[in-house]
Amino acid sequence: MDIAVQGALLLFGSFFLLLAIGVPISISIGIASLSTVILTLPLNTILFTAAQNFVGGINSFALLAVIFFILSGSIMNNGGIAIRLVNLAKIIAGRLPGSLAHTNVVGNMLFGSISGSAVAAAAAIGSVMSPMQEKEGYKKSYSAAVNIASSPIGLLIPPSGALIIYSLVSGGTSISALFMAGYLPGILMGLGVMFVAYRIAKKEDYKTQVTLPLREKFSVILQAVPSLFMIVVVIGGIVGGIFTATEGAAVAVLYSLILAIVYKSLKFSDVPKIMRETVVMTGIVLFLVGASSVMSWAMAVTRIPNAISDAILGVSQNEIVILLIIMFTLLVIGTFMDLTPAILIFTPIFLPIVTTIGVDPVHFGIIMVFNLAIGIMTPPVGSALFVGCSVGGVTIEAVIPTLIKIFTVLIILLAMVVFIPQISLIIPELLGLL
Amino acid sequence: MINVISRIKTTINQSIMIVASVLTVLLVISALWQVISRFIGMPSTFTEELLRFMLIWVAFLGATYAFGSREQLAIIFLKNKLRGRPAFSLQLLIDIIVIVFVFAVLVVGGLDISSITMNQVSPILGIPMGYIYYILPISGILIIFYQVINIFENIIGLKDPDRTDLDEGGQH
Amino acid sequence: GNEGESDSGNGSSNESGNNEASSGDESGGNDENDSAEASGEAVTLQLGHNLAEDHPVHLGLERFAEVVDEESDGTMEIDIYPNAVLGDEREVLEQVQGGGVDLTKVSASALEGFASQYAVFSLPYVFEDEEHFFEAMNSETTQNLFEETEEQGFIGLTWYDSGARSFYTQDTPIEHPDDLEGMRMRVMDSQTQIDMMEALGGAPTPMPYNEIYTGLQQGVVDGAESNPTALTNGNHGEVAKAFSFDEHARIPDLLVVSADAWNELTDEQQEIMNTASEESTEYQIELWAEAVDEAMVEAEEEMGVEFHYPDKEPFREAVEPMHEEYRQDENIAELMDAFEELR
Ligand code: NA
Ligand code: NA
């Protein structure tokens, strides 16, 4: 048997077996990788090269965005920013049936426009929204599903750690172009979730909020301005060339800290909790990244990426078919793999294939992130799903039926994003970034 | 005995968290200094490398801590189906798999790569690269320590099924 | 993706021992190759590097593999892994030191951290012009230098041309070192590059290679320095329109082999490797010249880049104090003197 096929069978076979019995994902990835390279390399070189790859995978400037966005998200989560954004979202989306659900979606979009972490959005906005919705008689599974499905919008709407990492691994694709390309697909994702939320709300007869008097509206907007001014500071600073996107994530930390102090909603006693959250979550994500780098190496040594690309191009040369295969593959990958490692492993495999059929690297970055954003809300491994269920006080089983309805719409939207490049590319083109 | 072990674990937990938190604060400060220094026309030349090295250490410390608190991402579907002795055996198997991998790659492989690179200095700071790689065996040994404690706690849990607080079940 | 083209039949070859550590054991020998008994046992050597498959150096390495294959009657095979799939330059070199990979291509500047005397190649204006550079690279001095690192676990085999590095900026040409005043210039991660930029008056700004494009586009940095192929391969010509040929440095790429792997080869096999590396260098130099010409045409005609040709003398003068400083390292001073004699 061809070594690549043998390797691939061993790699994925042992990975799924270990995963199924409950071995931590990072360790499953590591062991699967070693069991593959043992076909071609002696053990003594495998161990130190795997160790080196573990560090090498993390030794990247762009990955600083991960810890900075987790930290700023955690500060915002504790810092009274969420409630002000939710109040603003109420004004924007308060007149639709199931208005609190729409408020949640818009809240996640607003939060996402200043934060680069889906988990932080799910936690921050979800924890403000779920008690309100429960009081209004919304089903917990409904409000949690809506929160989960809209929390990854901030991965598309800039700033976005996911797009920074894609920019790096795709060989320097313009991060400004990627950021601008994310706006429309992000908004589209939000509208998609709202569409499903609206239909369910009508059926369940969820209430519409009373509208606020003009003066109160004004005060709510005023209260949210400092939070939203972060868009100007962070995105403006990046586009204006004052700092790089990665450095912008550190600026977001500083700004969220200032906001939390200005809003007087961060106590000194919150600091240990914020640090613990940040360090542990960073550790989990980046340890996965290190393990994924071991997997990339194992795949390269056994030439699995070549085999994958030969297999895809062997099925068809038709670009629609190729894109559909990649889209489907990424959806499957997203079910069990976290977003960051998936971007790091699969961008180098898929990008060369799609560029040969004329897909713009900026467009493909949006496809990757949209695709894998769906993955983080699916079981068995979905960080937004886990956090969203935990702040919403529901089990994973309970939210699944509603989530499946939303997935249907999101997958249709994904197909639109895949096959209509203009959705992604029009804004960067208009701004002269492409 | 339980008290001694849990006190050691608490001490290690706190030490890891203090070191990692300090490094995290330094990360933010260094990155901001990189921006400011460039803005005033004297770009800092050392922060880029320093930031990457500190990130590596924070990442491994955080990951190590997450092994101790059983927060590493895993699929617990099968574990949730089981009760009593089978559940204990499965958890034991998983913990042993983790220990074997961590020992082989982080400890043995990590010491190897550290010694290979001890004479190589980093391009800007001039630090021997072996020191950067030292985080591998350090975190490897700590993870193994945590896993052993976790196994120990599970044994107690098996004898005394009411003590559910000992095993939080690895997912969040 | 057509990585597979570079080496025929990679599938079956991997099954036998494919590096020095296993080539000696029972699985390493392929009895079918009796015809080539003169060259000893069959070996497959792994070569990892960080360049794309259309890069002249990759093509040079492919030629190297071809010649090795031909000269050894198919008993020696070089398995090439491009695109940094085995790791970046430093990481693959570490693997070479540890015996995980047999061969790699590294920029001489990446070797500074492993063997400080290699810093000589990164110093500005050490070489007068291309001719002097070629002369120096083919000299006995360089050959001896290649062998000096055996204790560190690797040996230099040959060099490849990586051209002359010059400054490019969004729109301001660098006609004189004074033009660099207050300019944030991206430099490679290395002390020599930082020192050079300071000596010339620019503000050295280390930045990962992959961030240069956006960095230039948004103005985080005002300029960068490389050879003209960066304009096209890295698309930097889309965002940097003024390229000034001050040609401050010629930093070669080097093909290095793991010392362990090398010492396990028979004399004949070593000879084959030497022949192949020489041939590949000659071939690569031609390809490189073509690639630079093509890049310049493309950058000028399709990207609208303007080329400027400043007087190099003021640049040379500006880095003289830096030369003096680096001469305090005896090894570097010796190398500089030896190169000086070849002018
Ligand atoms: Na965002
Ligand atoms: Na998932």
In a domain, B169, yes or no: no
Nearest CB to C213 within list A174, A297, A301: A174
A98-107, A118-127, C23-32, C334-343: which has the minimum mean pLDDT?
C23-32
What distance in Å separates residue A211's CA from the closest CA in chain B? 38
- Name chain A contacts of B132, Cβ cutoff 8 Å: 55
State the pLDDT at residue C6.
Answer: 29
First to last CA, chain A: 45
Number of domains in chain A: 1
Please determine, for residue B171, whether its predicted confidence score (pLDDT) is greater than 60. Answer: no
When pLDDT is averaged across residues B27-55 and rounded to a whole number, the result is 96
Confidence check: pLDDT of C296 > 50: yes
Taking only the tens place, the pLDDT of each residue in B97-156 is 999 999 999 999 999 999 999 999 999 999 999 999 999 999 999 999 999 999 998 888
Least confident of A77-81, B66-70, C301-305: A77-81
E strand or H helix at C166, and its extent?
A: strand C165-169
pTM here is 0.92
Using the beta-carbon criterion (under 8 Å), do B60 and A63 form an inter-chain contact?
A: no
Domain contains A297? no
DSSP A55-120: HHHH--GGGHHHHHHHHHHHHHHHTTHHHHHHHHHHHHHTTSTTHHHHHHHHHHHHHHTT---HHH
> How far from chain centre, in Å, is Cα B34?
28
Give the pLDDT of residue B12.
Answer: 96
State whether C190 and B112 contact (CB < 8 Å): no
**C residues 107-166 lying closer than 8 A (beta carbon) to B:** 112-114, 152-153
Residue B31 belongs to domain spanning? 1-156
Query: Measured between CA atoms, how close is B4 to chain A, in angstroms?
Result: 24
Nearest to A414 by CA among A170, A152, A163: A152
Taking contacts as CB-CB distances below 8 angstroms, the residues of chain A near B93 are 21
- Residues in C closer than 8 angstroms to A303, CB to CB, are 3-4, 10-11, 14
- Whole-angstrom Cα distance, residue C262 to residue C153? 10
Query: Residue C31 pLDDT more than 60?
Result: no
* A151 CA from centroid of ligand 2 (Å): 14
Chain C: touching chains (3 or more CB pairs < 8 Å): A, B
- Among chain A residues, the shortest Cα distance to B40 is held by A242
Give me the number of domains chain B comprises.
1
Beta bridge partners of C205: C186
CA of A113 to the centre of ligand 1 (A): 4
* Cβ–Cβ contact A241 with B under 8 A: no
A294 contacts on B by Cβ (under 8 Å) = 105
Are the C-beta atoms of C54 and C28 separated by less than 8 Å? no
ipTM at complex level: 0.91
pLDDT at C40: 58
Contact C118, C111 (CB under 8 A): yes
Q: Model confidence over C61-89: pLDDT tens digits?
A: 999 999 999 999 999 999 999 999 999 99
Closest Cβ–Cβ partner in A4, A56, A173 for C87: A56
Whether the per-residue pLDDT at C18 is higher than 80: the answer is: no
pLDDT-based confidence at residue C15 (cuts at 50, 70, 90): very low
Question: Minimal Cα–Cα distance from B100 to chain C, Å?
Answer: 22
CA distance linking residue B115 with residue B106, whole number of Å: 13
Report the separation in Å between the CA atom of A152 and the middle of ligand 1, taken as the mean of its atom positions. Answer: 9
> Which of A3, A172, A352 is facing C211, going by the closest CB pair?
A172
Distance in angstroms (rounded) separating the CA atoms of residues A312 and C196: 48
Q: Does residue B129 belong to any structural domain of this protein?
A: yes
Q: Which residues in B have their CB inside 8 Å of a CB on C?
A: 38, 41-43, 45, 48-49, 112-113, 116-117, 119-124, 126, 129
| Domain that includes residue A233, residue range | 61-288+304-430
Confidence class of residue A93 from pLDDT cuts 50, 70 and 90? confident
Task: Indicate whether A37 belongs to any domain.
Answer: no
* Lowest-confidence segment of A3-7, A255-259, A354-358, C285-289 by average pLDDT: A3-7
Name which of C191, C209, C220 to mutate to probe chain B: the one with the most chain B Cβ atoms within 10 A of its Cβ. Answer: C191
What value does the mean pLDDT take over residues C304-316?
98
Q: Is position B57 within any domain?
A: yes
State how far the Cα of C107 lies from the Cα of C184, in Å rounded to an integer. 24
Length of chain B measured in residues:
172
Q: Are strands C154-160 and C253-258 parallel, antiparallel or unpaired?
A: antiparallel
- Which pLDDT score, from 0 to 100, does residue A264 have? 86
Please, what is the average pLDDT of chain B? 91
- Distance (angstroms) between ligand 2 centre and the Cα of A375 equals 4
Over 70: is that where the pLDDT of B167 sits? no
For residue A2, is it within any domain?
A: no
Chain segment A272-323, per-residue pLDDT in tens = 999 999 999 999 999 999 999 999 999 999 999 989 999 999 998 899 999 9
DSSP state of C168: E
Closest CA to A327 of A412, A402, A409: A412
**Candidates C112, C152, C208; nearest CB to B119:** C152
Interface test with A, best of C218, C231, C236 (most A CBs within 10 A): C218
Q: What is the 3-state secondary structure (H, E, C) of A380-426?
A: CCCHHHHHHHHHHCCCHHHHHHHHHHHHHHHHHHHHHHHHCHHHHHH
Q: Is C206 on the interface with B (CB under 8 A)?
A: yes
Dihedral sign from CA coordinates of A96, A101, A103, A108: negative
Is A348 part of any domain? Answer: yes
CA–CA gap between residue A301 and residue C124 (Å, rounded): 38
Note the pLDDT tens digit of each residue in A318-376: 999 999 999 999 999 999 999 999 999 999 999 999 999 999 999 999 999 999 999 99
A38 occurs within a structural domain: no
What is the rounded average pLDDT for all residues in chain A? 93
pLDDT > 90: percent of chain C: 87
Instruction: Identify the band that residue A263 occupies on the pLDDT scale cut at 50, 70 and 90.
Output: confident
- Among all bound ligands, the one having the nearest atom to the CA of A178 is 1
User: What are the Cα distances from residue A106, in Å, to A72, A194, A200?
Assistant: 20, 9, 17
Give the C-alpha separation, C331 to C260, whole Å: 25
In a domain, A225, yes or no: yes
At residue A91, does pLDDT exceed 80?
yes
Q: Which listed ligand is nearest to A373 at the C-alpha? A: 2
Tell me, yes or no, whether B137 lies in a domain: yes
Dist. CA C161–CA C288, nearest whole Å: 7
Chain B interface disruption, residue of C88, C90, C149, most B CBs within 10 A: C90
- Number of neighbours of residue C340 by Cβ within 10 angstroms: 12
Residue A257's Cβ-side half-sphere holds a number of Cα atoms within 13 Å equal to 17
B37 to chain A, any CB pair closer than 8 A? The answer is no
Q: In this complex, is the C-beta atom of A17 within 8 Å of any C-beta atom belonging to chain B?
A: no
Tens-place pLDDT, residues A131-152: 999 988 999 999 999 999 999 9
The residue ranking higher by pLDDT, C46 or B169, is: C46
Check if A52 contacts B (Cβ < 8 Å): yes
Q: What is the pLDDT of residue B158?
A: 76
pLDDT band at B162 (very low <50, low <70, confident <90, very high): low
Longest dimension (CA), chain B: 66
CA atoms within 13 A on the CB side of B56: 25
User: Which chain A residues are closer than 8 Å to C95 by Cβ?
Assistant: 45, 49, 52
Looking only at the bridges linking them, the beta strands covering C154-160 and C165-169 are unpaired
pLDDT band at C25 (very low <50, low <70, confident <90, very high): very low
How far, in Å, are A300, C185, C211 from residue C235 at the CA level? 26, 17, 12
Chain C closest CA to A243's CA: distance in Å? 6
Q: Partners of C169 in the beta sheet?
A: C223, C242
Residues 6+ apart with CB under 8 A from A31: A14, A18, A23, B97, B101
Residues A96-122 pLDDT 10s: 888 999 999 999 999 999 998 899 999
- Which of A24, A254, A383 lies nearest to residue B170, judging by beta carbons? A24
Hey, are the CB atoms on C15 and A40 less than 8 Å from each other?
yes
pLDDT at res. C92: 96
Q: What's the gap in Å between the CA of C337 and the closest CA on chain A?
A: 38
Give the one of C87, C212, C220 whose C-beta lies nearest to A53's C-beta.
C87
Q: How many alpha carbons lie under 13 Å from residue C341 in its C-beta half-sphere?
A: 8
pLDDT digits (tens, 9 = 90+) for C94-128: 999 999 999 999 999 999 999 999 999 999 999 99
**Does pLDDT of A164 surpass 90?**
yes
